[in-house]
Structure 1
Amino acid sequence: MTITPPALSVFETLESEVRSYCRGWPAVFDRAQGSRLHDEDGHSYLDFFAGAGSLNYGHNNPVLKRALIDYIERDGITHGLDMATSAKRAFLEAFQNIVLRPRDLPYKVMFPGPTGTNAVEAALKLARKVKGRESVVSFTNAFHGMSLGSLAVTGNAFKRAGAGIPLVHGTPMPFDNYFDGRVPDFLWFERLLEDQGSGLNKPAAVIVETVQGEGGINVARAEWLRALQSLCERQDMLLIVDDIQMGCGRTGGFFSFEEAGITPDIVTLSKSISGYGLPMSLCLFKPELDIWEPGEHNGTFRGNNPAFVTAAAALNAYWADGQMEKQTLARGEQVERALLEIVAEDTGSGARFRGRGLVWGLEFTDRTRASAICARAFELGLLLETSGPESQVVKLLPALTVSPEELDEGLRILARCVRETA
């Protein structure tokens, strides 16, 4: 496919240099439906990016779109702060009945500002308030958001540098398999906690992603997560699971920690919780932790009622019957088989892959190759992004509603890109 980059336009002349995705995908997108985007020149693209995980049910999902249009046409509340609305009630009832009760999860629901980093900030503030301590432990290659509190528990040096000030009260520890299995799990962490001379202030909490999406698709083992929960219980620390990208079914179960059989003290959700790409986030926590004073943490747009409408529609359409998890795991097996073939064919490159459900990463010894593969994929009509601290991993993040045929099409394009960049 021949793609003509957009001419110098209002994007280049007026928009900040901070923009990034548009540099790798030089097109002006105009329409989208399901797993396809279309630019204004008529080119079609298969989407293995899904709004960075915000579009688990695809673009303009017809079920969610109908619910949203009906709500807007009847002049339903759009902006509601934290007032009680019928849209919020419908979401809370669906979330309780379809997600929380069947999993025996006791959580209270908090609506912070509508982005993922807002949910993380709320989680960090609450943990510190409950425990009366400042320090929070995070993990190597973690990513938790771009506001200052979230950056303090993020590992990426480039993103941390953007803060412009010291990022304090966060302490990194090794993520699962950081030492390639040569060091027992949590040896360093627990030794520091128990040594009065270590210099580590007693943490209020530990924050972790079960799969590090931006960090390179690093997958924590279920036994590692269980051991982490046990360590937190022994050491009187709260366990926060950041499920912003991996929640809402990305790894199979609605929550990514379900496979490990753990119950975190606090959970953050955003991205696909609205189902339609509308801004929305949740901070979930055990009832005994709900010691907030009214208005102690708030945000003008925490009452995004159109997002409540599509979120409730997504839960009712995709999670009430238990089929979404089975479908995602089946699609994941399809991806895994294709990646096995790609790695087997690409001998001598040191290629390896990892993932769960419908999030996968393909990594090469040559740290520049992932970017070349993603650039070639765009030319062939496939949207892929890189991840990892050196952008060294090709990240596959298709919609959960992708068809087997679309998945196969994208995987064939990926295989071609790997061959052509060898």
Structure 2
Amino acid sequence: MNEKLQLIEELESSVRSYVRSFPTVFTKARGYKIWDEDGKEYIDFFAGAGALNYGHNEPSMKKKLVDYILDDGITHSLDKATDAKIEFMEKFRDVIMKPRDMDYKIMFPGPTGTNTVESALKIARKMTGRTDIVSFTNGFHGMTIGSLSVTGNSMKRQGAGIPLNNTVTMPYDSFTDDGQDTLDYFERFLQDNGSGVAIPAAVIFETVQGEGGINAASMEWMQRLERVCREWGIIMIVDDVQAGVGRTGTFFSFEPAGIKPDVVCLSKSIGGYGLPLAITLIKPELDKWKPGEHNGTFRGNNMAFVTASESLTYWEDPEFEKSVQAKAEKVTNFLNDMIEKYPEMNAHKKGRGLMQGISSDVEGFSEKVAEHAFERQLIMETAGGHDQVFKLFPPINIDEEGLQAGLDIIELSIQDALASMGLKETEKATQ
């Protein structure tokens, strides 16, 4: 074993994860490319689990950040006023909210996805006086206790070590695979006072479930869920931590459905550069916090404000969004072609935008594809309760050449996996 990886083995906690899937020492990254200490060049279809939607070391953000640091700009400020924070808020209002006719207060809850979810759950309970939260099967919302309580993965839930209470899990769209609208089930629970389910403070959901297997809710399902929430006075929270910031083809993943959530959770790529930042968007009538009632030492990450402001420049040009959607269509066509071309995968397509993947019913197949992809110098992860989905997450600003190169490696990796598992009589694929 490499000496540096041996040091990781000796010193780092066994909880480490990605270094096991990608066992090399990375030293440099730019755009969609990342290099290891041996000079090997990898294509990154992982994008920091959605934190690097604009790729690594995006040049304009890097320049703004370096200039800010060299000018002794404020780094840490809690929630004091700084130029960097004000610039971000103005730009987010003018570039993102105003063109979409959105009216939200912007809350800085702390720097991570689980921070924004925790704040959303708190404000829903505070404003309704109710305790229960409805979440959905296969949802993932974070690793702190409140967020974990609305997360579906049993292994992650067990890590809490205590009962996770005051939540109710309902079936996500198409969870039952019987053609039934799963919201029939949810509404029945609300209507029947013998169901044992109290009217909840809120529902929380992802429009596309990233960790849960790239499950995408239909527009009709989301629209009906909004109607149910309005009818029963339930606060609707959209967790857009992974699916937002352009990942599904529009800045917010829920835009195509035309819904207007009460609370929106954003993190990961909202910082633009991979620096920690999270925001919670709250409808003004719900923003009834007492000063300091929810806080966090690192909620004023000014370096992230600088890069976040610069990242929003992409969204000033409508052509950028169209380019993301065009690349998403290319990925969709590629995945459909793979499913038709290699029926041995026993697979179907999942997700939308540049958040798509293939789910295989062959045990261990998707993990094999990701493993062979890494051998061919492409970084890609799996998702789903059984890692049954291999997941394409390229930067949304990747160029056509990089996207095609990654797709070519994936097809070769599918061939590798089929051959290594004895699923197809073929010579081992060669690049």
TM-score scaled to structure 1, two decimals? Answer: 0.98
The amino acid of 2:6's aligned partner reads S
Q: By how many angstroms is 1:351 displaced?
A: 1.3
The amino acid of 2:74's aligned partner reads I
Conserved in 1, the CA contact under 8 Å of 2:173 and 2:181? no
Find the counterpart in structure 2 of residue 70 from structure 1: 67
Find the counterpart in structure 1 of residue 302 from structure 2: 305
Q: By how many angstroms is 1:23 displaced?
A: 0.1
The amino acid of 2:52's aligned partner reads L
Once the two structures are overlaid, the 10-residue window that deviates more, 178-187 or 133-142, is 178-187
Which whole-Å CA distance do the structure 2 matches of 1:214 and 1:6 have between them? 32
Q: Out of 355, 361, 368, which is 1:359 matched to? A: 355
For the pair 1:164 / 2:161, whether they are aligned, the reply is yes
Q: Out of 265, 269, 273, which is 2:266 matched to? A: 269
Find the counterpart in structure 1 of residue 89 from structure 2: 92
Q: Deviations over 1:47-104 (max 9, x none)?
A: 0000000001110000100010111110000000000000000000000000001000
Find the counterpart in structure 1 of residue 179 from structure 2: 182
Which whole-Å CA distance do the structure 1 matches of 2:268 and 2:3 have between them? 29
Which whole-Å CA distance do the structure 1 matches of 2:349 and 2:234 have between them? 33
Which whole-Å CA distance do the structure 1 matches of 2:353 and 2:207 have between them? 12
Q: By how many angstroms is 1:185 displaced?
A: 3.6
Find the counterpart in structure 1 of residue 322 from structure 2: 326
Conserved in 2, the CA contact under 8 Å of 1:5 and 1:26? no
Find the counterpart in structure 1 of residue 412 from structure 2: 416
Find the counterpart in structure 2 of residue 259 from structure 1: 256
Q: Out of 329, 334, 340, which is 2:336 matched to? A: 340
Conserved in 2, the CA contact under 8 Å of 1:242 and 1:267? yes
Q: Out of 147, 150, 156, which is 1:150 matched to? A: 147
Matched length: 418
Q: By how many angstroms is 1:357 displaced?
A: 1.2
Q: By how many angstroms is 1:7 displaced?
A: 5.6
For the pair 1:201 / 2:192, whether they are aligned, the reply is no
For the pair 1:114 / 2:116, whether they are aligned, the reply is no
TM-score scaled to structure 2, two decimals? Answer: 0.96
For the pair 1:370 / 2:366, whether they are aligned, the reply is yes
Indicate the RMSD between aligned Cα atoms, in angstroms. 1.0
Find the counterpart in structure 1 of residue 284 from structure 2: 287
Query: Which SS does the other structure have where 1:416 is aligned?
Result: helix
Conserved in 2, the CA contact under 8 Å of 1:6 and 1:28? no
For the pair 1:24 / 2:18, whether they are aligned, the reply is no
Find the counterpart in structure 2 of residue 237 from structure 1: 234
Which whole-Å CA distance do the structure 2 matches of 1:277 and 1:22 have between them? 18
Q: Out of 387, 390, 394, which is 2:390 matched to? A: 394
The amino acid of 1:99's aligned partner reads I
Which whole-Å CA distance do the structure 2 matches of 1:342 and 1:369 have between them? 14
Find the counterpart in structure 1 of residue 244 from structure 2: 247
Gaps of 5+ in 1: none
Query: Which SS does the other structure have where 1:199 is aligned?
Result: coil
Which whole-Å CA distance do the structure 2 matches of 1:289 and 1:378 have between them? 46
Which whole-Å CA distance do the structure 1 matches of 2:344 and 2:410 have between them? 18
Q: By how many angstroms is 1:246 displaced?
A: 0.7
Q: By how many angstroms is 1:393 displaced?
A: 0.4
Conserved in 1, the CA contact under 8 Å of 2:205 and 2:237? yes
Which whole-Å CA distance do the structure 2 matches of 1:321 and 1:364 have between them? 38
Q: By how many angstroms is 1:323 displaced?
A: 2.0
Conserved in 1, the CA contact under 8 Å of 2:347 and 2:359? yes
Which whole-Å CA distance do the structure 1 matches of 2:123 and 2:229 have between them? 16
Query: Which SS does the other structure have where 1:9 is aligned?
Result: helix
Which whole-Å CA distance do the structure 2 matches of 1:411 and 1:129 have between them? 47
Which whole-Å CA distance do the structure 2 matches of 1:106 and 1:320 have between them? 19
Query: Which SS does the other structure have where 1:127 is aligned?
Result: helix
The amino acid of 1:285's aligned partner reads I
Find the counterpart in structure 2 of residue 382 from structure 1: 378
The amino acid of 2:366's aligned partner reads A
Conserved in 2, the CA contact under 8 Å of 1:135 and 1:169? yes
Which whole-Å CA distance do the structure 1 matches of 2:86 and 2:179 have between them? 50
Q: By how many angstroms is 1:153 displaced?
A: 0.3
For the pair 1:125 / 2:122, whether they are aligned, the reply is yes
Q: Deviations over 1:351-373 (max 9, x none)?
A: 11122111111111112111111
- Structure 1 vs Structure 2: percent identity of aligned residues? 53
Find the counterpart in structure 1 of residue 132 from structure 2: 135
Find the counterpart in structure 2 of residue 218 from structure 1: 215
Which whole-Å CA distance do the structure 2 matches of 1:122 and 1:160 have between them? 19
The amino acid of 1:153's aligned partner reads V
Q: Deviations over 1:12-41 (max 9, x none)?
A: 111111100000100000000000000111
Runs of 4+ that moved beyond 6 A: none
Once the two structures are overlaid, the 10-residue window that deviates more, 208-217 or 323-332, is 323-332
Find the counterpart in structure 1 of residue 423 from structure 2: none
Which whole-Å CA distance do the structure 1 matches of 2:320 and 2:220 have between them? 25
Q: By how many angstroms is 1:350 displaced?
A: 1.4
Q: By how many angstroms is 1:349 displaced?
A: 3.0
Q: By how many angstroms is 1:398 displaced?
A: 0.4
Query: Which SS does the other structure have where 2:118 is aligned?
Result: helix
Query: Which SS does the other structure have where 1:197 is aligned?
Result: coil
Query: Which SS does the other structure have where 2:345 is aligned?
Result: coil
Which whole-Å CA distance do the structure 2 matches of 1:7 and 1:76 have between them? 35
The amino acid of 1:232's aligned partner reads C
Which whole-Å CA distance do the structure 1 matches of 2:205 and 2:319 have between them? 28
Q: By how many angstroms is 1:10 displaced?
A: 2.2
Which whole-Å CA distance do the structure 2 matches of 1:45 and 1:179 have between them? 39
The alpha-carbon distance between structure 1 residues 40 and 8, as it changes in their structure 2 partners (threshold 3 A), is: closer
Q: Deviations over 1:369-408 (max 9, x none)?
A: 1111111100000000000011110011000111111111
